[in-house]
Amino acid sequence: MPGSVFQEISAFAPDAAASPRHVAIIMDGNGRWAKARGLPRIEGHRRGVEALRRAVRTAIELKIAYLTVYSFSAENWTRPFEEVQSLMGLLHLFIRNDLAELKSNNVCIRVIGERQGLPADIVGLLDEAERTTQKNTGLTLVVAFNYGGRQEIAAAARCLAEKAARGELSPESIDVDTFGAALHAGEIPDPDLVIRTSGEKRISNFLLWQAAYAEFVFLDVLWPDFGKLDFIAALEEYAHRDRRYGGIDPKPAIKTAS
């Protein structure tokens, strides 16, 4: 990347309106962050919540319209019981402590993922977060919790099949648009940019359908260390990408109008 990070920021920051519309983040590396310091994994998750706060503030500052964060996957239940309990507790604390600030910053919260099977208090909080912010018009923060891309696709297929079986839908009407609309937050535009921290280069069952033409940026930083400069560096890398969508004309990642 040419120039210093600070030059990159000054080049980028004034043109905040030219950011991707939807950024999705796989917040990975909490466990390794803790391990490197001889701390329990949960301490990494606690610091990860602070990094999430910073990321939300940066997204607001840069006027990004949609930010999706992968906070607990459908497969994360396979972790030790104590870690799963701690992660549930942290989600609880995050919503309890941060909901007021998010509301006052005009953030609209959406939750994607399977709610069935989650503890009742968590479901209540997720519902409250969505209900009390639904009229907000600033950043849409999509929290992927108990989320799996394959599970989401299977659920949409089941829902459409049930409608067809009841005679409410003709199978011929199922296409990419109607299928996409049957997903958890079907009205939200696809992510333009998917960032994964921690150095892993895989999708781990995240937004499998929606990320079909997303740009991917993999960062070596562990999630608890992710800060505003890392966010801006990822946006800067995105800004240099050409998106072709299967065609031959490169479309600059950043469009002046959409």
Our CB check for ligand IPE shows the closer of 27 and 118 to be 27
C-alpha distance from residue 16 to each of 20, 196, 215, 253 (Å): 10, 21, 18, 14
Our CB check for Mg ion shows the closer of 151 and 198 to be 198
Read off φ and ψ for residue 36, nearest 5 degrees: -60, -20
Active site residue 76: yes
Q: Which of Mg ion, ligand IPE, none does residue 238 bind to, with CB < 5 to 8 Å depending on kind?
A: none
Q: How far is the CB of 157 from ligand IPE (least distance, A)?
A: 23
Q: How far is the CB of 65 from ligand IPE (least distance, A)?
A: 22
Active site residue 98: no
Cβ-based neighbour number of residue 50 at 10 Å: 12
Catalytic residue among 30, 76, 175, 242: 76
Torsion of CA 90, 144, 148, 79, to 10 degrees: -10
Q: Which of ligand IPE, Mg ion, none does residue 105 bind to, with CB < 5 to 8 Å depending on kind?
A: none
Q: Which of ligand IPE, Mg ion, none does residue 30 bind to, with CB < 5 to 8 Å depending on kind?
A: ligand IPE
Our CB check for ligand IPE shows the closer of 73 and 210 to be 73
Residue nearest to ligand IPE (CB): 31
Catalytic residue among 28, 98, 192, 230: 28
- Contact predicate 112/82, CB 8 Å: no
- How many angstroms separate the CA atoms of 176 and 184, rounded? 15
Sheet strand arrangement including 193-196:
108-112, 140-147, 66-73, 22-26, 193-196, 215-218
Q: Which amino acid is at 236?
A: E
Q: How far is the CB of 12 from ligand IPE (least distance, A)?
A: 26
- In the complex, which residues of this chain contact Mg ion (CB under 5 A)? 28
- In the complex, which residues of this chain contact ligand IPE (CB under 6 A)? 26-32, 70-73, 76, 87, 198, 200, 202, 204, 223
C-alpha distance from residue 210 to each of 67, 190, 232 (Å): 13, 5, 23
Active site residues: 28, 76
